[in-house]
Structure 1
Amino acid sequence: MAKTIFITGASRGFGKLWAEAFLKRGDNVVATARDTNTLNDLTAAYGDKILALQLDVNNRADVFAAIEKATQKFGSIDTLINNAGYGLFGAIEETTEAEARAQIETNVFGLLWVTQAVLPVMRKQGHGHIIQLSSVVGVATLPILGVYNASKFAVEGLSETLATEVKGFGINVTILEPNGFATDWAGASAASTTPMDVYQPVRDAFQAGLTDDIFGVPEATTDAVLKLVDAENPPLRLFLGKIALPWVKQVYADRLATWEEWNDVSVAAHGK
């Protein structure tokens, strides 16, 4: 049976790839983008199976209106994929107030508004699946991405909490955590701070680590996302790519070792 999938940030990258994959197999897709002209090829190919909506997720009223248009068109929303977002490259000290606020507004508040807007629909129909695009840097950090890391850590905490709140309504939540992929996320879609010379060695080391072999093939993610959407009991978290799990296992081993080393101090701080 065809599902109705609502995808934000569908103009390019993962969002567009996944939208087309759902359309190819016969699902209905509500695809949002700041510029719907980027979706003309899909609307021409799939006609009434796709509803392309202009949307800036930072505008909460427009988000609620988009959800309403989607339900008027297709009657339900089975899956929400909160994909809209971008990367901000720069050391924390370099980041201006405007840059930091814009990053958090889109990556965190934009995701929150869409989540809030779809929840009444999913509660009423008694089922739904909310898929939140986080990142491997939502659980382990990289330098020169400090505010972006922070935005994805926020997505992790918000979404894990959400899962406990809505399970009783028949709504599942999955946090998708891709490692690096060869999309234009680090290109046209990204923003950058004005660099300070003092952080150039950190920036150089970061760039040196971005070798081609660590980046996954974006098209290879479509089967994983289709399986996730079709899963009867989807996981709370899912990595995309082969780099993420080995890296995070080492990060968590280091964290556990530090907590254990300082556990006497921690216990004494309890006071009783």
Structure 2
Amino acid sequence: MAKTIFITGASRGFGRIWTEAFLERGDNVVAAVRKPETLTELSKAFPSNLLVLKLDVTDKQASFDAIETAKAHFGRIDVLINNAGYGQIGAVEEVSEQEVRSQFETNVLGSLWTVQAVLPVMREQNSGHIIQLSSALGLNTVTFMGLYSATKFAIEGLTETLAAEVADFGIKVTLLQPGPYDTDFNGSDSLAVSEPIPAYDGMKKVFWEYAQAGDSGNPAATVDALFALVDAENPPSRLILGKIALPWVKQTYEQRLKTWESWQEISVAAHG
């Protein structure tokens, strides 16, 4: 049976790839984008099962209006994929107040508004699946991407709490955690760069060399994983995409456990 999928950030990267894939397999797709003209050709190819909506996810009322329009058009919303977001390169010292606010408004609040908007629809249906785009950088950190990681760590905490709150309504929730992929994430529309402080130039050179030499995954290879996820009767609460993230995360958490355990005597004494 065809599903109705609502995808934010559907004009490029993962969002565009998944939009096309769901359409090609016969699902209904609501593609929420800042620039609807980017999907003109796709609308012509799939006139009956693609609804393109203009949406700036930082606009709370617009997010609620978009969900209402989607519900009215297709009758239901089975899956919400919160994919909209962008990255920020800059040392913690370098990022400006406006960059911090913009990053959180898009990556965190933008996700929150669509979740709040869709929950009444899914509660009425007594079914639904919310997929939140986190990242390997929501589990781990690298230099110069601390602000982006902060937003993804926020998504992790928000989404884990959400899952516990909506389970009794038949609503499933999944955190999707991609590692590095060869999308257009490094383009000007997806990645902002802070005003540099020269003291960090040497470290930043190493950062860019490593980033360019990394083994990035093929984003088209994620399609089958998305199909499996939205079709699963009991989807996982977390799903890592790619081969890079899991070994990296395991190493980090093993080190964290080792540190906590080595300080356990002091930790327990601090209880009083």
Smaller-chain TM-score bracket? over 0.9
Q: Deviations over 1:211-258 (max 9, x none)?
A: 445210011111111110101100000000000000000000110000
Structure 1 gaps of 5+ residues are: none
Aligned to 2:142: 142
Amino acid aligned to 1:178? P
- The within-5 A match list for 1:5-84 is 5-84=5-84
RMSD: 0.8
* 1:162 aligned onto 2:162: yes
The residue that corresponds to 2:133 in the other structure is 133
Amino acid at match of 2:195: T
The answer as to 2:234 corresponding to 1:215 is: no
Equivalent residue for 1:255? 256
TM-score by length of 1: 0.98
Take 2:111 and 2:214, find their aligned partners in 1: how far apart are those partners? 30
Q: Which amino acid in 2 is paired with 1:83?
A: N
AA aligned opposite 2:133? L
Query: Comparing 262-271 with 180-189, which one deviates more in the overlay?
Result: 180-189
Q: State how far apart, in whole Å, the 1-side matches of 2:105 and 2:34 are.
A: 15
> What amino acid does structure 2 have at the position aligned with 1:180?
P
Aligned twin of 1:264: 265
How far apart are 1:208 and its partner, in Å?
Answer: 2.3
Secondary structure of 2:268's counterpart equals helix
Quote the residue 2:226 is aligned against: 225
C-alpha displacement of 1:263: 0.6
Deviation at 1:34, TM superposition (A): 0.3
In the TM superposition, what whole-angstrom CA distance separates every residue of 1:84-119 from its partner, at most 9, and x where no partner exists?
A: 000011111000000010000000000000000000
Letter in 2 for 1:92: V
Q: Distance in 2 between matches of 1:208 and 1:254?
A: 26
**Cα distance in 2 between the residues matched to 1:257 and 1:41:** 54
Structure 2 residue identity aligned to 1:210 = A
What's the CA shift for 1:202? 1.9
Q: For residues 36-81 of structure 1, what are the alpha-carbon distances to aligned partners after superposition, in whole Å with 9 as ceiling and x for unaligned?
A: 0111121011002000000000000000000000001000000000
**Larger deviation: 182-191 or 219-228?**
182-191
Q: Which amino acid aligns with 1:18?
A: W
Structure 2 unmatched ranges of 5 or more = none
3-state SS of 2:261 partner: helix
In structure 2, give the amino acid aligned to 1:147: L
Question: Which residue pairs with 1:186 in the alignment?
Answer: 186
Which has the larger displacement, 160-169 or 195-204? 195-204
Alpha-carbon distance in 2 for matches of 1:161, 1:201: 40
What is the alpha-carbon distance in structure 1 between the residues aligned to residue 200 and residue 193 of structure 2? 14
Instruction: Give distance in 2, aligned partners of 1:211 and 1:8.
Output: 27
1:185 match: secondary structure: helix
CA distance in 2, matches of 1:211, 1:193: 19
Give the TM-score normalised by the residue count of structure 2.
Answer: 0.98
Q: Hey, what does 2:111 align to over in structure 1?
A: 111
**In structure 2, how many angstroms separate the alpha carbons of the residues matched to 1:240 and 1:204?**
27
Structure 1 residue runs of 4 or more that deviate by more than 3 Å after TM superposition: none
More displaced stretch, 257-266 vs 201-210:
201-210
SS in 1 for 2:184: coil
